[in-house]
């Protein structure tokens, strides 16, 4: 049975086609380098981002490859911890009793802890997460350095605190020195002021003595003889009477002399 006109083509018969939903790549992040003191706890942090909801199908795998050529794990990464279906499974015996899962997978945190860290742990740790259908992603890697206490670098916080304390000590020293200098200058000014007053007083005293000596000189230059008082002269009566001899009228003449 033909469909359509003469020479025409048959119409295409449609069949339902299922298109798979594209999956997004999962993003995994870890610290590029971690430095741990030998014999202490070493935390290896790892987080991930996924467009899918975390479920029981979500799995985490931690692997380790040693940086020491003669180490048994130097040729290829070996699984040291695996987490799936809500349970953790330690891997190699060397890490079996030292690896602890400290993350929260519901918060997309899959960090682990080495307790205690050893020199044999120097190497690269790989963190891989699968969250179906997000299974494509590049595993994160962390270089672990286990060092002695003497060569353990100070943290940034310790450096900042040390710098602030040092600056405060320098400021205190400067303030104390400034107070000392100000006090010395102040005492020197007081001393110079006293010296000036003493010199002024001495000069005034010398002027006063000079004035007194001048007065004494002028006094000494005046006549040194006794000052004569008024001179009394007696005037006799020469009238010839009998009682004329006994009649004496005193006359006072004042002898005024200029000094």
pLDDT digits (tens, 9 = 90+) for 118-151: 999 999 999 999 999 988 889 999 999 999 976 6
Does the pLDDT value for residue 7 go beyond 90? no
Q: 115 falls in which pLDDT band (50, 70, 90)? A: very high
Average pLDDT score over residue span 35-53: 94
Write down the pLDDT at residue 79: 94
Does the pLDDT value for residue 163 go beyond 50? yes
Average pLDDT score over residue span 31-55: 95
Q: Between vectors from CA 57 to CA 55 and to CA 62, what angle results, nearest 5°?
A: 110
Does the pLDDT value for residue 239 go beyond 60? no
Q: 170 falls in which pLDDT band (50, 70, 90)? A: confident
Write down the pLDDT at residue 189: 72
Least confident of 13-27, 68-82, 145-159, 179-193: 13-27
Write down the pLDDT at residue 74: 87
Q: 220 falls in which pLDDT band (50, 70, 90)? A: very low
Write down the pLDDT at residue 192: 59
Write down the pLDDT at residue 104: 94
Answer yes or no: pTM beyond 0.85.
no
């Amino acid at each position: 049975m033909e469909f359509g006109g003469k020479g025409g083509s048959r119409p295409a018969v449609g069949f339902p086609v299922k298109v798979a939903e594209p999956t997004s790549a999962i993003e995994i992040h870890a610290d590029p380098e971690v430095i741990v003191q030998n014999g202490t706890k070493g935390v290896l942090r790892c987080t991930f981002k996924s467009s899918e909801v975390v479920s029981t199908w979500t799995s985490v795998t931690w692997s380790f490859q040693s940086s020491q050529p003669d180490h048994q794990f130097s040729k290829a990464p070996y699984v040291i911890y695996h987490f799936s279906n809500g349970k953790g499974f330690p891997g190699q015996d060397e890490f079996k009793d030292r690896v602890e899962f400290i993350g929260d997978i519901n918060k997309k945190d899959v960090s682990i802890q080495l307790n205690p860290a050893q020199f044999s742990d120097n190497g690269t740790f790989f963190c891989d997460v699968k969250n179906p259908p997000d299974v494509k992603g590049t595993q994160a890697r962390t270089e672990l350095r286990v060092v002695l206490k003497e060569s353990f670098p100070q943290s940034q916080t310790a450096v900042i605190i040390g710098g602030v304390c040092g600056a405060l000590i320098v400021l205190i020293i400067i303030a104390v020195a400034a107070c000392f200098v100000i006090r010395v200058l102040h005492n020197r000014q007081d001393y110079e002021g006293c010296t000036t007053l003493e010199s002024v007083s001495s000069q005034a005293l010398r002027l006063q003595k000079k004035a007194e000596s001048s007065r004494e000189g002028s006094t000494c230059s005046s006549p040194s003889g006794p000052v004569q008082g008024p001179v009394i002269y007696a005037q006799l009566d020469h009238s010839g009477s009998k009682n004329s001899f006994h009649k004496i009228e005193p006359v006072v003449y004042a002898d005024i002399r200029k000094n």
